[in-house]
Homo-oligomer: A and B are copies of this chain.
Amino acid sequence: MHVELKPIKTKKIYEEIIDQIRQLLIDGYIKPGDKLPSERELVESFKVSRSSIREALSALEMMGVLEVRTGEGTFIKHIQPESMMASLAWSLYLDKGSILEMLEVRKMIEVQAVGYAAERATDKEIYQLTQALEKMKNNFSNMGTVSEKADMMFHYTIAVATHNKITIRLMDAISDNLQHLIHATRPKLYEGKYTPELLYKEHEKIYIAIKYRDSDEARFQMLEHLNGVEKEISKCL
């Protein structure tokens, strides 16, 4: 007697609560800034114990979805990219394969993003790109943190120039994840094919493409750049 048996997924009740709260968020019944009912009220609505409520809330708080203020109440958080960093900081344990996947995702997003950036960048944003480039240029001898920061600023400005908040957040989260990796592998970068001059040149090409609103060229140059970096980094893994 062979029957198809469906896997039983015993949903823990705190998971169920989390799901419901998520649904409320999706459907817009609660928005960032809103105050959630008190734990005791939630006990009555959900008909569960306070323990379960609290397990759900603490999980949501750790994920940066909620803010629990003692004596005041529980509030839906306005998402700040920084807060996301906390939970994403767990990525310390990324294994080799995941890092490569993450690099690939970054490539996917940033290559497309730079296309939009080329179409939409304001004069101010383009100016900020030149500033980042200047910093890189003036620190050829110094391969340290200055040019590293300038590099990050360059890429971040591109994200901003897409004028797509979700993209900004996404790229922010990803670069947070890769930050320690990038930092660790940067010296290695210069041992490989990269010199500060070459790195600068690649960025400059991207910049020029953006400046001249050539989105195809911008995408191409970004792809070239990230492929190069990716290849060097993967040597270190």
Contact = CB atoms under 8 A, between A and B. Distances in A.
A79 B93 contact: yes
Interface string A87-126: 1101111111010011011011101110010000000000
A202 interface: no
Contact of A58 (B14, B104, B109, B116): B14
Nearest to A176: B26
Contact of A105 (B55, B94, B170): B170
A7 interface: no
A81 interface: yes
Contacts of A14: 58
Interface in A20-63: 22, 25-28, 31-32, 51, 54-56, 58-63
Contact of A88 (B12, B22, B164, B170): B170
Given A22-B93, A26-B92, A111-B112, A166 B81 contact: no
Nearest to A55: B58
A138 interface: no
A198 to B, nearest CB: 25
Contact of A62 (B31, B63, B112): B63
